[in-house]
Amino acid sequence: MTESRLPDADALVRIVDDDTVLTDALAFMLQCEGWKVQTYPNAAAFLAGDAPSVPGVLILDHQMPGMSGAELQFELERRGSQLPIVFLTAHGDVDLAVQTLRRGAYHFLQKPVDPEALLTTIAEAAEADRRRRGAIPDAREAKEKLAALTARERQVIELLGKGLLNKQIAERLALSVRTVEVYRASAYRKLGVRSVAEIARILQALEP
């Protein structure tokens, strides 16, 4: 194992693919290399079971029953996720590769993939995610950012930082889900963030 491929102890490699034979083999290979792995048979299972706060990488097939890989990428973007996505598919073409990379995918690989290339890509993507998540602002910067928010936006952001979903926040604050979404979008714009993980880092900077 080369230094550039050393696994991140905190990182989780998520694999979303309906080909269970391939995912089992891929998971075994990654675990032998020291990676923590979680597999999902489809996009819906991933969305229901994944913990976005856990750093790592998403290995994603494109052509699956239900939501496709590209559609899952769009949904994650809508939710503000910045988890690095590595597409690994047998059904790709140049147009799909260009589309997914333009939307922010970390890499696009085709099956069958060279194991060395995949391991290197995963390590690099995990390192990029670690660096992004580690960029915690200082207390002064965090206070300045939060000072730009209205009282309601601040409430929504603080509840997001505690792990609540839009629906739960709406119930807590006696608002409609749509209103919460508006406050959330406005706060994201003012803070210059795209994900709950970034919100958590700003709030973390204020902790004693």
**pLDDT tens, per residue, the chain with 208 residues:** 444 455 666 789 999 999 999 999 999 999 999 999 999 999 999 999 998 878 899 999 988 889 999 999 989 888 878 899 999 988 767 888 888 888 888 999 888 889 999 999 999 999 888 877 765 566 777 788 888 899 999 999 999 988 899 999 999 999 999 999 999 999 988 888 877 877 887 887 777 6
Q: Span 139-204: which CATH code?
A: 1.10.10.10
The number of beta carbons lying within 10 Å of the beta carbon of residue 22 is: 17
pLDDT of residue 80: 79
Is the separation of the CB atoms in 152 and 180 below 8 Å? no
N-to-C CA span, the chain: 40
pTM of the complete model? 0.62
The C-alpha atoms of residue 37 and residue 16 are separated, in whole angstroms, by 11
Residues facing 59 on adjacent strands: 15, 86
The structural domains of the chain, with segments of one domain joined by +, span 3-133, 139-204
The C-alpha atoms of residue 180 and residue 38 are separated, in whole angstroms, by 31
Topology of domain 3-133, per CATH?
Rossmann fold (3.40.50)
The C-alpha atoms of residue 61 and residue 41 are separated, in whole angstroms, by 10
The C-alpha atoms of residue 207 and residue 177 are separated, in whole angstroms, by 29
CA atoms within 13 A on the CB side of 152: 13
pLDDT of residue 1: 47
pLDDT of residue 132: 74
DSSP codes joined into one string, 8-59:
PTT-EEEEE-S-HHHHHHHHHHHHHTT-EEEEESSHHHHHHH--TTS-EEEE
What proportions of the chain, in percent to the nearest 5, are helix, strand and coil? Answer: 55, 10, 35
pLDDT of residue 35: 93
CATH topology identical between 3-133 and 139-204: no
The C-alpha atoms of residue 197 and residue 44 are separated, in whole angstroms, by 21
pLDDT of residue 144: 83
pLDDT of residue 137: 61
The C-alpha atoms of residue 70 and residue 72 are separated, in whole angstroms, by 5
pLDDT of residue 5: 56
The C-alpha atoms of residue 45 and residue 103 are separated, in whole angstroms, by 22
pLDDT of residue 2: 44
Tokens 């919460």 locate to 180
